[in-house]
Structure 1
Amino acid sequence: MFRRRRRERERAAPVAEEASVPQRESGPWDADEPHPEGERVDLGGMLLPIGPGFEVQLNVAGDQIVGAVILVDGSALQVHAFAAPKRSGIWDEVRGELKREVTASGGTAEEVEGPFGVELAARVRQGEALQPVRFCGIDGPRWFLRAVISGKAAVDAEAAATLEDVVRDIVVVRGDHPMPPKEPIELRLPPEARQAMEQQAAQTGRPDLNPFERGPEITETR
């Protein structure tokens, strides 16, 4: 009798609907989630938005491209993508490391609330002067994006808005292969830049041309 009543109560209990996962309203985006179309440079591990007057330079470590810099109107945005654990972010840890590095080199760093959450408002020593820099971090699904804003945009809200919109529109292509946390997600030259490099090498007769001697650049002008 008790078993029958328990079964009846179970049948009568309403079945909870699975909570739907809300879609984010802005990026940076993961390549596997829905994201708005836009004009972006395909760097392999990252799709980087470009706009009028943007100049893009690539950061190189050894023979690998590990980051990109956007220069526009006296401001700079440097972005790097890293692998991260599946179930936890690393920005809290990375932020602490950055704060210690900045202060150890004679600069200052303060945690403040920014458009992407907690960020570091820092003054980084360059020679005898201290330059304002913003360190922003975004934890994504199995990746972490670090954005460093310097120049005019570090202190001017209107100038910063342009670069913040770039960060919001970045698409990170993490891939499915295993990577240890904090390992840079490798980037690559876009096809048109690689083709230009190969053509230059053919014309100069230098097949061993190093495209990173002066730093690869992609300029968007309209």
Structure 2
Amino acid sequence: MSLVVSSINLKIYFMKTFLAITALVSFQLAAGQKTIELKDFNSLSVGSDTKITMVKSSQNKLVINSSDDDDLSIVNEGGFLKLNGGEDLEITLYYKDGLESISADADAEVWGKDEIKAKELSITASADAKIELVLNVKKLNTTISSDAMVTLTGKAENHNAVVSSDADFKGEDLLTENTNILLSSDGTAAISVKGIVDANVSNDALLKVYGNPKKVNEITSTDGHIKIVR
């Protein structure tokens, strides 16, 4: 009988210890997490090494997995949200529909796996920034420069793109009806088009075209190259 009682007491002890540790860990995680409610915005700008993950939601808010966010600058006025100085912070941006522009510069990174729907969307990346998103848009405008990299998947009916100065656009999995692209100064790009491609490629830039487009109007100069991938 004493052995049975000892065994039961031991199990109770371990259970209480486990629950206490779990509660402590949960408290520490909650204590290190900060939530900031945001006003509505349709324009997002991210800079200065700030790295964010975008998640579609029914409300606009930032969740920062650190209580030490003194260097993070947040401007949220007039339909605009600007984030700067969030280096080494794990930031999740919960956003509602209605985005019209997303920009990143100065080593910033913007990631998202949820599909962004819009009639028209502008994406801009420069100065070593990285953007990776899933889209479903009618009209897309993309500007990439100065070693920035943009990876887009999903679909866009019409796409206007400008890629320059060693920038890289990875759009082979972004299905478009028509694409107009200006590519220069060692820039590289991959696009997927079903309809018409209008491409101007120059100064050692390289364009790869996927999707078996109906027509390709091309202008190349100064060692610019266009490759149709069948």
- Provide the TM-score with structure 1 as the length reference: 0.22
Larger Rg: 2
- Provide the TM-score with structure 2 as the length reference: 0.22
Looking at both structures, which has the greater relative contact order when contacts are Cα pairs under 8 Å and sequence separation is at least 6?
Answer: 1
Which protein has the bigger strand share? Answer: 2
